[in-house]
Amino acid sequence: MSATETLEHSTDEQHDDHSHDHPDWLAHHFDDAEQQFDSGKLGMWLFLVTEVLFFSGMFCAYALLRSQSPETFAFASQFLNEKLGAINTGVLLFSSLTMAWAVRASQLSQHRTLTATLGMTLGCAAVFLGVKAVEYTHKWGLGLLPGHLYLSQGVPTNEDHEFGERALIWLCVLPAIMLVGFLAWWIQALIQKSTVQLRIAGPLLVAAIMYFAGVGLGRWIESDSSHAGHADHASSAGHATAHPAHASANEHGEDHDHHSSETSSSHEHEEKSFSIAPSVVTLPQANPEQVALPKFGSVPSQDVNQRGRAGLFFSIYYCMTGVHALHIIGGMVVISWLIIKAAKLQFHSQYFGPVDNVGLYWHLVDFIWIYLFPLLYLIT
């Protein structure tokens, strides 16, 4: 079916007595396609302005807090895994490319390319969320929580660690249900040989799978960098590691001669060392020897590692990345909507405004991440 066919098709089923020569993709209150497109575009740009201002509130809070205690930010950002951040940056950049491609495809009425590129964008978003889920739950397990929930030494108990694992499982429940649902849908469409449904269920199914790919990737890199951190620690003491908490935990292990072999997973590592770590949170000043904190530069780590300071960094970290993740989820919803419309071949060179506008939105979400990544992950 080509665009012109759709056009004719739509003009046939006139139901509204006021739309004189209006095709059904043109709303009755607009005079022509150009006016509709311009309105949509301007509306979207204004919406993006509000989005920028929405985030700018948090960027201002970030700037204020960081200027008040730069050393805290330098300290606490050590706990973020910049490899995961970098991978997510790459994934989002790639998704921006596929999104731009999708816009082009819709303008050229290339329906197959449009569905494929939209599907790829959706998949990238899913990978991003999967990696993010690993990052979040790993930190929860380490007690790196916002504000007053922050466990002041970054050395949590066994229970906390299990809490992180459990949280990850909970974060996988909904995607798993969706995965099963999309799979069932896809099989059913396959049996019914419904091309439209296949075109919709396929990308959605891929996206659900990609979420778990993201989770797997995240876990692999997380454990990998833990090993790397351990190796670094072994080779040169005091080197800034990707995961100071791990390093400190390992240090404990060595101190108490419970050093396990290089091949064992970091998970076991942590458990061993945590079992001897104090289960009750005490202030660092109260007992400085009890917890070995990572040493780097001239950062007065004992002072900054407390709820009112490092906790604040994690507050701003969770707020900014959390709101950003919500925007990714919102973007996934509208991209899915586009896929449905695209599968029904509703976009063509006359009418591609929604693809264009969602594209703008997606680029902005990407763009905000480009700022978040260095500001949060690459402070030192």
Which of 154/214 has CB closer to other proteins?
154
Nearest to other proteins of 211, 314 (CB atom): 314
Pick the closer one to other proteins by CB: 190 or 326: 326
Choose one: 58-66, 249-257, 284-292, 340-348; the region binding other proteins (CB under 8 A).
Answer: 58-66
Considering the complex, state which of residue 205 and residue 368 has its C-beta at the smaller distance from other proteins: 368
Under the binding rule (CB under 8 A), the answer on residue 58 touching other proteins is yes
Binding mask 138-167 for other proteins (x = CB under 8 A): --------xxxx------------------
**Shortest distance, CB of residue 194 to other proteins, whole angstroms?**
29
Q: Does 56 bind other proteins (CB under 8 A)?
A: yes
Shortest distance, position 46 Cβ to other proteins, whole Å: 5
Tell me the three-class secondary structure of the chain, residue by residue. Answer: CCHHHHHHHHHHCCCCCCCCCCCCCCCCCCCCHHHHHHHHHHHHHHHHHHHHHHHHHHHHHHHHHHHHCHHHHHHHHHHCCHHHHHHHHHHHHHHHHHHHHHHHHHHCCCHHHHHHHHHHHHHHHHHHHHHHHHHHHHHHHCCCCCHHHCCCCCCCCHHHHHHHHHHHHHHHHHHHHHHHHHHHHHHHHHHHCCHHHHHHHHHHHHHHHHHHHHHHHHHHHHHHHHHHHHHHHHHCCCCCCCCHHHHHHHHHHHHCCCCCCCCCCHHHHHHHHHHHCCCCCCCCCCCCCCCCCCCCCCCCHHHHCCCCCHHHHHHHHHHHHHHHHHHHHHHHHHHHHHHHHHHCCCCECCECHHHHHHHHHHHHHHHHHHHHHHHHHCCC
Cβ distance to other proteins smaller for residue 62 or 211 = 62
- In the complex, minimum distance from the CB of residue 340 to other proteins, in angstroms, rounded to a whole number: 17
Q: Does 47 bind other proteins (CB under 8 A)?
A: yes
**Measured from the CB atom, is 12 or 31 closer to other proteins?**
31
Binders of other proteins in range 69-108 (CB under 8 A): 69
Residues near other proteins, by CB under 8 A: 18, 27-30, 35, 38-39, 42-43, 46-47, 49-51, 53-58, 60-61, 64-65, 68-69, 146-149, 307-309, 311-312, 315-316, 318-319, 323
